[in-house]
Amino acid sequence: MIALGGCIGTGLFYGTAESIPLAGPGLILGYLLGGFVIYMIIRMLGEMATQEPVSGAFSHFANKYCGQYAGFLAGWNYWLLYILVSMAELSAIGRYIYTWFPDFPIWLTVLSTIVIITAINLASVKFFGETEFWLALIKVLAVVGMIVFGLYLVAKGFVSEQSTVKISNLWEFGIFPNGAWGVWVSLVIVMFSFGGTEMIAIAAAETDNPQKTIPQAIKQVMWRILIFYIGSIIIMLVLVPWHDIKQGISPFVLVFDQLGLPNVAGILNFIILTAAISVYNSGIYSNGRMLFGLAEQGHAPKVFMKLSHNHVPYAAIAFSSAVTLIAVVINLLVPNGAFMIVMSVAIAAAVITWGLIVIMHMRFRRAHQADQLTFKTPFFPYVNYFCLIFLVVVIGAMTQLDSFRPAVYVMPVWLILTYLGFRLKQKMDRKHLK
């Protein structure tokens, strides 16, 4: 249930409000293209994890096939990615509460969420698991329910000539309102929606029978993308014309509100809020374990290996949680643009992660004979080159939007900082050996 819920977050519930005005119904094409690329990248990671099922598979492959710096970069970049995703979710949570309580400061909502969720994660792994299970269940049932209810409204509108609910909404007001440019720039937000799906292959690698569970888990990703993302967006655009969807408001809530169903819209707003809390909850959990793993590998200070009596890496969790406090400052200074600012840097970090997976897979193939692999990625190596080109296209799209352009400049700075950090670590290691 947690893995299933991990595919549903703010990128779908809230981010689509930013991308639909750009691409219109053409956003469906963006999700199909982006979904294909993500699926192939996960297949690459799954191929490696099936062949070499090790704990901490991601940094292991980077370190083994691309060098020690790649392993260092992979671990820290992935930690940063989840920190940024957590901050984006916090910003979205603030916006959701604001729709109900406009007089309550967004930054105070963000701070309260950090304190509560951190306390849950510090308590025990069992407490976290129970909380996350129910949060994930709520949002999975919500998306399924929204699709089913949407299909009912479509069927009802099909037999009523006066209904605004009609399939022709997909093309009547223009399929590509901003042309190819609109679909291109929408890919930035589309790819944010898919962030975190690669955790499926990493988690499956630590199961009892990875040769069986990894292929099963990865094949399910394709259906999740088709049903949860593409299916829900098609239903949403049929229910309400794309030009009625406004930025800054969840389109799922807006759709039912405009259909004259405010009670359903209110329920959806609550469900979307729980979805964002769920992602932040799992983000803090992942951040803590990731930092703990970096410390075990010698890539982070040993203090992050400290465990509580409940075997919780409290130092790593507390530090990761403290870093997300930056979201409080951002929402205090720019409450209306916080989500997009954090999302832009998160996408930059995700592109680095995905690019590393594609490159390490190519190096992995050089070291293994194809006939010895049990879960091969199709179309190798052409699909690798296609994915790399696609990721470059996404970076190019980021330069077209004012809120995303600074993140492109941050990428080389981050790479330089991680390299300097790696060199410093090597220097300290040599001194320790002496």
pTM metric for this prediction: 0.85
Per-residue pLDDT band for 163 (boundaries 50, 70, 90) equals low
**pLDDT at 55 exceeding the cut of 60:** no
Non-local (6+) Cβ contacts of 49 within 8 A are: 57, 201, 202, 204, 205, 210, 214
**How open is the CA angle 250-254-257, to the nearest 5 degrees?**
145
Non-local (6+) Cβ contacts of 6 within 8 A are: 136, 196, 197, 199, 200, 279, 282
Where residue 327 falls (left for φ over 0; alpha for ψ -120 to 50; beta otherwise) is alpha
Q: How many CA atoms lie within 13 A of 26 on its CB side?
A: 20
Per-residue pLDDT band for 359 (boundaries 50, 70, 90) equals very high
Q: Between residues 159 and 115, which one has the greater pLDDT? A: 115
CB atoms under 10 Å from CB of 37, counted, come to 24
Taking a C-beta distance cutoff of 8 angstroms, is the pair 418, 70 a contact?
A: no
How large a percentage of the chain has pLDDT more than 70? 88
The Cα 320–Cα 91 span in angstroms is: 17
**pLDDT at 135 exceeding the cut of 80:** yes
Taking a C-beta distance cutoff of 8 angstroms, is the pair 358, 379 a contact?
A: no
pLDDT at 327: 78
Helices (H), 52-105: 57-66, 68-100
For the segment 199-228, the average pLDDT, to the nearest whole number, is 72
**pLDDT at 63 exceeding the cut of 80:** yes
**pLDDT at 433 exceeding the cut of 90:** no
Nearest one of 325, 359, 370, 405 to 113, comparing CA atoms: 325
Non-local (6+) Cβ contacts of 325 within 8 A are: 111, 114
pLDDT at 57: 64
Q: Is 184 helix (H, G, I), strand (E, B) or coil?
A: helix
Q: Does domain 1-433 have CATH number 2.40.50.100?
A: no
Taking a C-beta distance cutoff of 8 angstroms, is the pair 1, 137 a contact?
A: yes
Structure tokens at 200: 């499926």
For the segment 222-241, the average pLDDT, to the nearest whole number, is 81
Backbone angles phi, psi at 120, to 5 degrees: -60, -45
pLDDT at 336: 67
What's the chain's average pLDDT?
82
**How open is the CA angle 141-6-356, to the nearest 5 degrees?**
155
The Cα 25–Cα 198 span in angstroms is: 27
Q: How many CA atoms lie within 13 A of 91 on its CB side?
A: 31
pLDDT at 352: 93
Render pLDDT for 294-329 as a digit per residue (tens, 0 to 9): 887 778 888 888 888 888 888 989 998 888 888 778
pLDDT at 187: 92
Taking a C-beta distance cutoff of 8 angstroms, is the pair 26, 175 a contact?
A: yes
**pLDDT at 238 exceeding the cut of 80:** yes
**pLDDT at 356 exceeding the cut of 90:** yes
Per-residue pLDDT band for 201 (boundaries 50, 70, 90) equals low
Taking a C-beta distance cutoff of 8 angstroms, is the pair 231, 147 a contact?
A: yes
For the segment 1-19, the average pLDDT, to the nearest whole number, is 67
The Cα 60–Cα 357 span in angstroms is: 11
